[in-house]
Structure 1
Amino acid sequence: MQRLRNPRIGIDQGELVLFSEFDSGGSMWTGEGARERRKLVTFQEAYRRPPAVQVSISLWDMDTSAAIRAELVTENITTTDFEVVFRTWADSRIARLRTAWIAMGELPFDDDWDDVD
């Protein structure tokens, strides 16, 4: 028999500078073709199962002489962390990018039993 109880919902959020390359001549600013940057974000508290995570751009500094091509996603979401991934391609030039994120999910209870198979 499974005991039912109200879930403990956790919300975690933050901002991070994903990259800043205009002053260092990095490939996001000077390169062409497919480019990617990723950063690992660790939650303040572990979730019971992987939470829902949403990311958004909170600052972008991009050259407008070419088309702005960008993709911002989350990957590898676990109970303790996730990766923010930014991609661009062709001749787009991105000087810097800051992202905001929020995670929502169920937190474990102190008296939860570990799953045993």
Structure 2
Amino acid sequence: MVGIDQGSKVLFSDFEDDGEMWTGSGPRKLKCPIRFSEAFQVPPTVTISMSMWDIAGQSNQRADVMAENVTTDGFDILFRTWGDTRVARVRTDWLAIGEVSDDEMWDV
């Protein structure tokens, strides 16, 4: 059986409280843990996209977003930026596809 899980996550909103992504410079990263609604049988394939990106226009626009540490129970979203990029907030959408257990299947 193939199962699908999906979600949306606001990673940060740093312009509200002068957080590091908004006021900092140089290499910056944020890791956000995500738990699946049900465990997969094996680690699934996970795709991530930015569904909202609020960024200052006066500087270069740099971002890297990826899934890390994918397990049967969840994964981490890793967001990175660098240089003079100022990111106010980011929301990501994710989709996981993989093998799930089937109550109708019998182990013989």
Cα distance change of structure 1 residues 32 and 112 upon mapping to structure 2, 3 Å threshold: farther
How do 1:25-44 and structure 2 match up within 5 A?
A: 25-44=18-37
Tell me the residue number matched to 1:104: 97
Provide TM-score, normalisation by structure 2.
0.94
Deviation at 1:38, TM superposition (A): 1.2
Tell me the residue number matched to 2:42: 49
Distance, in Å, in 2 between the alignment partners of 1:64 and 1:71 is 17
Instruction: Give 3-state SS (helix, strand or coil) of 2:21's partner.
Output: helix
Q: CA RMSD in A?
A: 1.2
Deviation at 1:112, TM superposition (A): 6.8
The amino acid across from 1:86 in the alignment is: F
Tell me the residue number matched to 1:10: 3
Unaligned 5+ runs, structure 2: none
The list of structure 1 runs, each at least 4 consecutive aligned residues, that deviate by more than 6 angstroms after superposition, is: none
The amino acid across from 1:57 in the alignment is: M
How many residue pairs match? The answer is 106
Distance, in Å, in 2 between the alignment partners of 1:24 and 1:62 is 15
Does residue 22 (structure 1) correspond to residue 15 (structure 2)? The answer is: yes
The amino acid across from 2:56 in the alignment is: D
Distance, in Å, in 2 between the alignment partners of 1:87 and 1:95 is 13
Match of 2:74 among 67, 72, 81: 81
Tell me the residue number matched to 2:59: 66
